[in-house]
Structure 1
Amino acid sequence: MFSLFNSFKIVALLEGISYILLLFIATPIKYLADDPQYVKLLGMPHGLLFIAYIVMAVLLAPKLKWNSKTLLIVLAASVIPFGTFYVDRTYLKKAN
């Protein structure tokens, strides 16, 4: 039903969205409104999605024939805002 590739695309999208929400919504609310509730709420799901993204990228790399440089770019994109969206558009659309 769901291949590793399709699951990775979904995880990449969700990880990117959770990172954006955490950085640009939850963190400002934490420091400007002194309300850490949203960081606590989004932190754990984002962390799990981040770990899933890394593991799945490493498992998928040989199947997609990514060289070391490409894998490093895909992994680095997980810590750059909007990076996973770039990966989807640049590396995953080609493999589809």
Structure 2
Amino acid sequence: MRNALIRYRVMAYVVGVMLIVLTCVGMPLKYIWHNDSVVTVAGIAHGWLYMLLIITAIDLGRRARWSWLRLLLIALAGTVPFVTFVAEHYANKDVQAKLAWNEAHPTEPEAVIADPQG
């Protein structure tokens, strides 16, 4: 689950930064100065990277056993500037808590395998 979390966090930051560039740099350039080059490049990049974010979020959500509602909210967070970072923070917090709990409470099959007398 740790590797899935790392992949998701990287994609969340990349998508969040691309969306900020698109909205805070590209849109003013397009609508004020009539230069749509940044919108074209950042828009296409954000679209493709957003699809990778969805894939990494589903992978992490499956491993962390998130509800479909939580996955939907995390997916939608990639479409609102700055909200991606908030969603990433809460996803990271949740997964870190689950990882800590799993380390403190080993599962039953592992305990049975580790006990030579059991």
- TM-score under structure 2 length normalisation: 0.74
CA displacement 1:15-74 (0-9 Å, x = unmatched): 001001101110110110011111122122211111101111112211011112211211
Q: Is 2:94 aligned against 1:94?
A: yes
For the residue of structure 1 that corresponds to 2:78, the secondary structure is helix
Contact 2:5–2:95 (Cα < 8 Å) also in 1? no
Mapped to 2, the partners of 1:51 and 1:76 lie a distance apart of 12
Mapped to 1, the partners of 2:57 and 2:90 lie a distance apart of 14
> Partner residue of 2:71?
71
> Partner residue of 2:46?
46
Superposed CA RMSD: 1.5
The number of residues matched between the two structures is: 95
Larger mean Cα displacement after TM superposition, 11-20 or 53-62: 53-62
> Partner residue of 2:22?
22
Mapped to 2, the partners of 1:63 and 1:35 lie a distance apart of 43
- TM-score under structure 1 length normalisation: 0.89
Mapped to 2, the partners of 1:47 and 1:72 lie a distance apart of 17
Unpaired runs of 5+ residues, structure 1, are none
Contact 2:50–2:78 (Cα < 8 Å) also in 1? yes
